[in-house]
Amino acid sequence: MLRSLAIISLLIMGGVFIYVIEDMPPIGNPENPPHVHVVPRYIEKAEEETGVPNIVTAILANYRGYDTLGETTVIFTAGISVMILFQRWNK
């Protein structure tokens, strides 16, 4: 029962992903919104707004700080989960 429910939910999510992917802009297109609106602002105003001379550091630490913190938390949680799983198998 649980396995069939998991398969059904995966199929539904896969269908949603396939349906939504048509609305995404093509990969590598220089006219995509992030390239036209976001990147020029980062290049022009990163040092002025953040006080950090390195653009990459300014983006990761200041502009995308919460996003980077979230990604780090997910990776840390996954690592701890794997360590716990390996501990249980060794006993």
Confidence (pLDDT) at 89: 61
**Angle at the Cα of 9 from the Cα atoms of 71 and 12, rounded to 5 degrees:** 95
Confidence (pLDDT) at 18: 94
Q: What is the b/e burial string over 27-45, where b = at least 16 CB atoms within 10 angstroms of the residue's CB?
A: eeeeeeeeeeeeeeebeee
Confidence (pLDDT) at 88: 65
- The CA distance from 20 to 33, in Å, is 17
For 58, other C-beta atoms within 10 Å of its C-beta total: 20
Confidence (pLDDT) at 16: 95
Would you write out the chain's pLDDT as a tens digit for each of its 91 residues? 878 888 999 999 999 999 999 888 888 888 888 778 888 888 898 889 888 889 888 888 888 877 888 888 998 999 999 888 888 665 5
